[in-house]
Amino acid sequence: MRSWRRVGAVVLAAGLVVGLVGPVSAADGVASGAIRVSQLGYGAFDSKAAYVMTHDVAAGVRYQVVDRHGRRVLSGRVGDDAGEWNATYRHVYQLDLSALKIPGSYRLEVPGVAPATFDVRASSDRLLTGAKDKAINFFTAQRDTAHRNDAKALVYEIPEFVDPDTDQTVGELQQLGGPVDVTGGWYDAGDYLKFTHIAAYSESLLWASARDARRPDRKVLAEARHGLDWLDKMWDERTRTLYIQVGVGAGNAEETFIGDHDIWRLPGVDDTLTDPSERFLRNRPVFRAAAPGKPISPNLAGRTAAAFALAAQVEPDRASARRHLETAAQIYAQAQTTNVGQLVTSLPFAFYPETAWRDDLELGATELALAARRLGDQRGGSWLKQASYWASQYIEHEAGGDTLNLYDVSALAHADLIRAARTDRPLGSQLVGDLRAQLEIGASRAAADPFRAGAQYDNFDAVPHAFGLAATARLYRKVTGDRRYDAFGQQQLDWNFGANAWGVSFMVGVGRNSERCPHHQIANITGRELTGAVVNGPNSAELFDEGLGDHLDGMNPCPADGVDRYAEFTGHGSRYVDDVRSWQASEPADDFAAIAVYALTR
């Protein structure tokens, strides 16, 4: 690591001066506006971007940065306009503060605009690791320790739904079998449902984080093991059955029973409920991916196998690692690879409407091959061939539509396959090309965006997509040595941690102005801060056209006055509302936190 102590005052191009300089005139300012910075902070040698939003033209206005003693350490003039945000903030300007190298606390001042404070640290590693630790705390808070009746859960047929876009079912649930033990695991989001699809994805990222970190991380490993214990219960080795879900979202159209989303309560209440309509809250139903021994939806088989195979790469105990490898091999072998129709994710499918699946098979086979290499298993060569095949199939049929997130894991699969097939140069070149293409999807968006966002923030999952792009930039550098996307990856982290139009850090407990009112039952009822929770962030403004609706019984209003403090920042077709009712923007989820953990791993 380079020492920041060697960096002195320098004179820069574009009118920037570092060192003790003269004052900036208060008359040389703008009427109003807002400054946005990364509230996580910046590493001394990383790129550092801040943004100024104004109604009036601010190009040429002088700005300054002062340290904690009030001494000016950097100044310059606002440059070119990056574009309009909305009718109130017609101009956005990016300020390059990368000349700041000395660690400390600073304040950015633009005349006529409220100042913003930020930190610079000798290395960004500690900043990122601190945020990662908080994201892991969220998983600990999500542990299901309340539903004891899950120890003897019954299995039911997949129900019929009123229509594809609702979680309301038709008729009574039809029992198939059971009991099965599905205790433990994590709640999926702000509710109490548990899904194999999301758990397998989150598990894969946690185990990958444990594997790829420079130093062992006991907290990550503890949560990864906790999640894998539950995932192991969802696979019945004897009958070759994969269970996919615990609980039902809503009641039926006949109103003879209610579901998880119908009442706002603490989880410990469920096992004690007595009303007949609450029977599926008291004794939660379990659903399976397919009949025993029958082919499993390939997305589920691939990512679930990947989770166990990644554990087999990490677990120090070889006997445990071999057991995980065998489980991974069994599940992967049962994947349906022909005549694939609608994938199986959750009930209803609309909760998690995944369409890509070849990336999951590539990931599963790749991690199996790497685990086999570690354990000396002779099947590794066969899995490597399968991984290469599914990678080429993904690139041919599915590439170009998405980037790393819950619905597309190809970036992780590609990076690991490059490592697994290191002597296959044509394959490696093809995989690097697709990694670069994914980054270009985000980079092209960022180039046209006032805040350099690479994610689509007028749709669901903007925040996890931004973390995914940051992770992909790191993976690309790792496998190529090419640092061309480093600054872009940093911008995506900055955006998630406050350098966005709303000036909000979308990870609870990180930054001076983070998400305050998550759509999360336990946090809302107990009043405890849900530290490390990662929320959806901004979403399509149209989703809020009919308002947020009433508070559910038992829901504590948050904010207490019900005022939307971010309404003035609605723009570019997107809106962010920090309100407990705003599930579209303020609900946290396991997959959001998992990609954050991986993106922040160093």
**Do 47 and 170 fall into the same domain?**
no
Tally of domains within the chain: 2
**Do 27 and 165 fall into the same domain?**
no
pLDDT-based confidence at residue 29 (cuts at 50, 70, 90):
low
With respect to residue 342, please indicate whether it lies within any of the assigned structural domains.
yes
Decide: 597 and 224 in contact? Cβ < 8 Å. Answer: no
Tell whether the model's pLDDT for residue 1 goes beyond 50: no
**Do 34 and 161 fall into the same domain?**
no
**Do 212 and 262 fall into the same domain?**
yes
Residue 118 pLDDT? 98
Tell whether the model's pLDDT for residue 6 goes beyond 70: no
Q: What pLDDT digit, counting tens, does each position of 220-273 carry?
A: 999 999 999 999 999 999 999 999 999 999 999 999 999 999 999 999 999 999
Tell whether the model's pLDDT for residue 3 goes beyond 80: no
**Do 67 and 142 fall into the same domain?**
no
**Do 374 and 451 fall into the same domain?**
yes
> What is the mean pLDDT of the segment spanning 424-438?
98
With respect to residue 203, please indicate whether it lies within any of the assigned structural domains.
yes
**Do 72 and 142 fall into the same domain?**
no
Q: What pLDDT digit, counting tens, does each position of 279-317 carry?
A: 999 999 999 999 999 999 999 999 999 999 999 999 999
Give just the sign of the alpha carbon dihedral 27, 29, 32, 35: negative
Residue 26 pLDDT? 41
With respect to residue 162, please indicate whether it lies within any of the assigned structural domains.
yes
Tell whether the model's pLDDT for residue 9 goes beyond 60: no
**Do 210 and 152 fall into the same domain?**
yes
Tell whether the model's pLDDT for residue 541 goes beyond 80: yes
CATH number at residue 38: 2.60.40.10
3-state class (DSSP) for residue 488: helix
Decide: 94 and 499 in contact? Cβ < 8 Å. Answer: no
**Do 315 and 376 fall into the same domain?**
yes
Cα–Cα separations (whole angstroms), residue 543 to 183, 192, 460, 540: 35, 24, 10, 6
pLDDT-based confidence at residue 551 (cuts at 50, 70, 90):
very high
For residue 428, give both structure tokens. 């490696």
Of the candidates 94, 122, 150, which is a domain's last residue? 122
Considering all CA atoms of the chain, what is the largest pairwise distance in Å, rounded to the nearest integer? 79
With respect to residue 221, please indicate whether it lies within any of the assigned structural domains.
yes
Mean pLDDT (the chain) is 95
Of the candidates 84, 102, 122, which is a domain's last residue? 122
Decide: 353 and 460 in contact? Cβ < 8 Å. Answer: no
**pTM reported for the whole predicted model:** 0.95
Residue 10 pLDDT? 31
pLDDT-based confidence at residue 164 (cuts at 50, 70, 90):
very high
> What is the mean pLDDT of the segment spanning 164-177?
96
Residue 13 pLDDT? 31
Decide: 532 and 518 in contact? Cβ < 8 Å. Answer: no
Q: What pLDDT digit, counting tens, does each position of 75-84 carry?
A: 999 999 999 9
CATH number at residue 458: 1.50.10.10
Q: What are phi and psi of 280, to 5 degrees?
A: -90, 5
Torsion of Cα atoms, 365 then 371 then 375 then 380, to 10° = 20
> How would you write 52-112 as a 3-class SS string?
EEECCCCCCCEEEEEECCCCEEEEEECCCEEECCCCCCCEEEEEECCCCCCCEEEEEEECC
**Do 76 and 100 fall into the same domain?**
yes
With respect to residue 421, please indicate whether it lies within any of the assigned structural domains.
yes
pLDDT-based confidence at residue 425 (cuts at 50, 70, 90):
very high
Q: What pLDDT digit, counting tens, does each position of 362-415 carry?
A: 999 999 999 999 999 999 999 999 999 999 999 999 999 999 999 999 999 999
Whole domain around residue 274: which residue ranges?
126-498+592-599
**Do 99 and 144 fall into the same domain?**
no
Cα 304 off chain centre by: 18
**Do 91 and 154 fall into the same domain?**
no
Residue 244 pLDDT? 98
Residue 30 pLDDT? 62
Of the candidates 73, 90, 122, which is a domain's last residue? 122
pLDDT-based confidence at residue 32 (cuts at 50, 70, 90):
confident
With respect to residue 520, please indicate whether it lies within any of the assigned structural domains.
no
With respect to residue 555, please indicate whether it lies within any of the assigned structural domains.
no
Residue 429 pLDDT? 98
Axis-axis angle for helices 196-212, 218-233 (nearest 10)? 150
With respect to residue 19, please indicate whether it lies within any of the assigned structural domains.
yes
